[in-house]
Amino acid sequence: MSDFPKWEQKSHAKHWLLFPENLGEVLCLDEVALSDGELYTILTNAKNKSQKGSLISIVEGVKSENVIKILEKIPLEKRNQVKFVSVDMANNMEKIASDTFPNASVVTDRFHVAKLVSEVVQTIRIKYRWEAIEKENQLIEKAKESNQKFVAEIFENGDTEKQLLARSRYLLFKTSKKWTEKQELRAKILFEKYPEIHQSYNLSMTFRNIYEHAKSKSDAEIKINDWIKKVEESNIKAFNTAAYSINNHKDTILNFFPERVTNAMAENFNSKLKSFRAQFRGVKDMDFFLFRVSKIFA
């Protein structure tokens, strides 16, 4: 009943779709799993906010050379008009953006960078949690050998050590101003018992504040360099790894600050695409699914 049999992109739809007419000055480049965990590279127009006209391209896979080959089908004159391309921290995405859109500033998305820093804090918390679980297991075994009942230490807020570390997950993502009274008490106990988690949390919030308060690209660069120095002084190995990665992407991270371009629209588009894909569960014809996607978003 549709015009799917006559669809002009039907012959290559499984491998790529291209809608050059939707190109704009600010683009978002990202990857998404659409079929059995298989990844596709998606290019969207940020201005159209995941609505009609937002989809520029879907390319099977994430190999930079394959994606570039498809995007180069768009005339260079049109590609030269792109001013910004927002990407995650993957090197292949940076290469696709810089090679395909030579006049554009490639911007590493702030939320991916902030997530990297937050994950370091959670990694440290999880390390201590496993240590607490192991410690408790040993104490339980010891109590059994002595025919005694194991009684875990309980902190003033009612948490055991294991519970304290498990229940602190969400408060470590938030600024202290957004903590509830219970979270304030839990954080106080956590930070007193685990100074490394406290130090890591402070480093995470300091980095987050750069995005919130830096007044210019040069100001942000000074603040990031100072932050990297603090990380080196902290001697927290996991943070050194994150700082090294941030330093390697510093040029594209700093490109955020003049216009504050983010990849939020790409995340929103991918979320809609996954939701739409769920409606086609059981439909194995990828061609038809992509046909429907093009009708809605292209």
Task: Read off the amino acid at residue 115.
Answer: K
pLDDT digits (tens, 9 = 90+) for 184-229: 999 999 999 999 999 999 999 999 999 999 999 999 999 999 999 9
**Over pLDDT 90: what percentage of the chain?**
68
What is the average pLDDT across 91-102?
Answer: 95
Nearest to 109 by CA among 272, 279, 252: 252
pLDDT band at 283 (very low <50, low <70, confident <90, very high): low
Task: Read off the amino acid at residue 201.
Answer: Y
Rounded CA separation 184/181 (Å): 5
Q: What is the pLDDT of residue 269?
A: 79
Q: How far is the CA of 141 from the CAs of 7, 53, 148, in angstroms?
A: 68, 63, 10
Nearest to 168 by CA among 183, 150, 147: 183
Does residue 285 have a pLDDT over 80? no
Write the CB contacts of 130 (distance below 8 Å, at least 6 apart in sequence). Answer: none
Does residue 239 have a pLDDT over 80? yes
Nearest to 46 by CA among 20, 18, 24: 24
What is the average pLDDT across 164-183?
Answer: 96
Does residue 1 have a pLDDT over 70? no
pLDDT digits (tens, 9 = 90+) for 107-143: 999 999 999 999 999 999 999 999 999 999 999 999 8
Rounded CA separation 93/263 (Å): 12
Rounded CA separation 4/81 (Å): 32
Q: How far is the CA of 194 from the CAs of 112, 132, 190, in angstroms?
A: 27, 12, 6
User: 217-234 vs 195-213: helix axis angle to the nearest 10?
Assistant: 170
Contact 55, 297 (CB under 8 A): yes
What is the average pLDDT across 48-67?
Answer: 90
Least confident piece of the model among 30-39, 124-133, 223-232, 236-245: 30-39
- Domains of the chain, with CATH numbers? 4-108+262-297 (3.30.420.10), 111-258 (no CATH)
Bridge partner list, 30: 42
| Single pTM value for the model | 0.83
Rounded CA separation 231/233 (Å): 5
Average pLDDT of the chain? 90
Nearest to 209 by CA among 226, 195, 191, 194: 226
Q: Is 19 helix (H, G, I), strand (E, B) or coil?
A: coil
pLDDT band at 271 (very low <50, low <70, confident <90, very high): confident
Q: How far is the CA of 19 from the CAs of 63, 149, 160, 162, 265, in angstroms?
A: 20, 69, 57, 53, 18
Rounded CA separation 298/295 (Å): 6
